Amino acid sequence: MSLYTTNYIYTPLNQLKGGTIVNVYGVVKFFKPPYLSKGTDYCSVVTIVDQTNVKLTCLLFSGNYEALPIIYKNGDIVRFHRLKIQVYKKETQGITSSGFASLTFEGTLGAPIIPRTSSKYFNFTTEDHKMVETLRVWASTHMSPSWTLLKLCDVQPMQYFDLTCQLLGKAEVDGASFLLKVWDGTRTPFPSWRVLIQDLVLEGDLSHIHRLQNLTIDILVYDNHVHVARSLKVGSFLRIYSLHTKLQSMNSENQTMLSLEFHLHGGTSYGRGIRVLPETNSDVDQLKKDLESANLTANQHSDVICQSEPDDSFPSGILLRPPCWRSVARSQLTATSAS
């Protein structure tokens, strides 16, 4: 941390004016994890709000992925220095300017106030500490918790949600899609589909994956997320944003078989993306406890693999594992969609 004693002035979001460069604090209401723009820079979109109840959407660019705000979920608190304010189509927005810098803090009341930043030198005073605490208190009564963050045991078909999980294995499926095998210590309400690949192609501890097979899910990620998926290290802790569930039905021996598919579609709409979480993250602490207490033998189901019907929503060659249940009441399949 820097020993600088510079006194920064922070502008409330309801007092921003086009053409100025300001310093601001805010609570994250929406964000897109950094992604490659059409040029050579990485881009992140962050919408923040403060006690004035004014929202500001910021378009942030940098040639360095780590230089963009390290945001893990809605409700995090950010501090932006040297943010340029402009008016575009009658909407006030913030963009990066020369010397832009950011700090991010966990928004949970009582959590340690530890700045997240890739910079080795930054200014953080007792006044900054008070600002973060004040925003935490305000957000706790004025902003709803992130309802999109779910555990696997709570997901339903036709949902979009964020998942905190550990990566157990990964494999190339084809040029446009990639397989991630993950778990969070809980079991889905419907058997999860399985992508049939050669074990030699799968990167990960095969015996460990087999031991946890009752609790793992297969996720197919597409297009722009493939290069991120390739770079992930097995064993790392992830947050996957805007993951989509879909119920696949198959007919076998005059019975309807159902399994739950997981897709991370291409693009960045609705904040789609993947971010690695550090082991110091409080959500990772809870995840580790869930993994340690997981029941590895409960509700086991058949390992028989059956071929799915052709479907253009995912690549050919993917095979699904049917569920052990003989039937599932249609009334249980209440679909909830989140945008």
The CATH number of residue 87's host domain is 2.40.50.140
Point out the domain boundary residue: 244, 259, 284. 284
Does residue 136 share a domain with residue 201? no
pLDDT tens digits, residue range 66-110? 999 999 999 999 999 999 999 998 999 999 999 999 999 999 999
pLDDT value at residue 75: 94
- For residue 216, give its domain range: 159-284
Alpha carbon separation from 221 to 176, 201, 264, 286, 330 (Å, rounded): 8, 17, 5, 25, 28
pLDDT value at residue 40: 85
Does residue 163 share a domain with residue 138? no
Asked if residue 1 is part of any domain, the answer here is no
User: How many domains is the chain partitioned into structurally?
Assistant: 2
Does residue 205 share a domain with residue 92? no
* Nearest CA-CA partner of 323 in 253, 250, 274: 250
Does residue 175 share a domain with residue 59? no
Does residue 167 share a domain with residue 119? no
Q: Please give the mean pLDDT across all residues of the chain.
A: 85
Residue 283 burial class via C-beta count within 10 angstroms: exposed 0-12, middle 13-18, buried 19 and up: middle
The pLDDT > 70 percentage for the chain reads 84
Does residue 168 share a domain with residue 131? no
Asked if residue 194 is part of any domain, the answer here is yes
pLDDT tens digits, residue range 135-186? 999 999 998 876 789 999 999 999 999 999 999 999 999 878 999 999 999 9
Asked if residue 152 is part of any domain, the answer here is no
Of residues 306 and 249, which shows the higher confidence score? Answer: 249
Whether residue 332 is predicted with pLDDT greater than 50 in this model: the reply is: no
End-to-end CA separation in angstroms for the chain: 39
Asked if residue 303 is part of any domain, the answer here is no
pLDDT tens digits, residue range 50-78? 999 999 999 999 999 999 999 999 999 99
Does residue 137 share a domain with residue 164? no
Whether residue 6 is predicted with pLDDT greater than 90 in this model: the reply is: no
Whether residue 204 is predicted with pLDDT greater than 50 in this model: the reply is: yes
Does residue 63 share a domain with residue 170? no
Does residue 276 share a domain with residue 186? yes
Asked if residue 317 is part of any domain, the answer here is no
Asked if residue 105 is part of any domain, the answer here is yes
Point out the domain boundary residue: 107, 142, 177. 142
Does residue 258 share a domain with residue 179? yes
Asked if residue 112 is part of any domain, the answer here is yes
The pLDDT > 90 percentage for the chain reads 68
- The answer to whether 73 touches 162, Cβ cutoff 8 Å, is yes
pLDDT value at residue 313: 38
Asked if residue 150 is part of any domain, the answer here is no
pLDDT tens digits, residue range 244-276? 999 988 666 667 778 899 999 999 999 999 999
Of residues 132 and 315, which shows the higher confidence score? Answer: 132
Does residue 168 share a domain with residue 93? no
Does residue 122 share a domain with residue 41? yes
Burial profile 160-195: b = 16 or more Cβ within 10 angstroms, e = fewer: bbbbbbbbbbbbebeeebbbbbbbbbbbbebbbbbb
H or E stretch including 138?
helix 126-142
